[in-house]
Structure 1
């Protein structure tokens, strides 16, 4: 795993960083926040897929696990 990442922002990237950054937030903080949002979005996609797969499941029909 790399200890640092090189990044040359395009003009559009710079605009996004400017608009998405919070007051006093460094560029690296904004990128970290964006990565966490991306990770959360991936989790939501998997959650929705799992929920759809279990849509017809009736847990009341399952035997007790006791």
Structure 2
């Protein structure tokens, strides 16, 4: 895993960073926040897929584990 990443920003990238940065936030902090949001979005996608797969599950019909 690299310890640093080089990135040539496109004009659109620069616009997104400028519009997305919180007051006083550095570009690095903005990118880290964006990565965390992407990770959370991936987690939500998996959560929704799991919930859909278990939609008909009736836990009351299952025997108690204890």
Using structure 2 for the length normalisation, give the TM-score: 0.99
Aligned residues: 66
**Aligned residues: CA RMSD:** 0.3
Is 1:35 paired with 2:25? no
Structure 1: which 5+ residue stretches go unaligned? none
Using structure 1 for the length normalisation, give the TM-score: 0.99
Question: Which residue does the alignment assign to 1:20?
Answer: 20
Q: Which of structure 1's runs of 4+ aligned residues deviate more than 4 A?
A: none
Is 1:7 paired with 2:7? yes
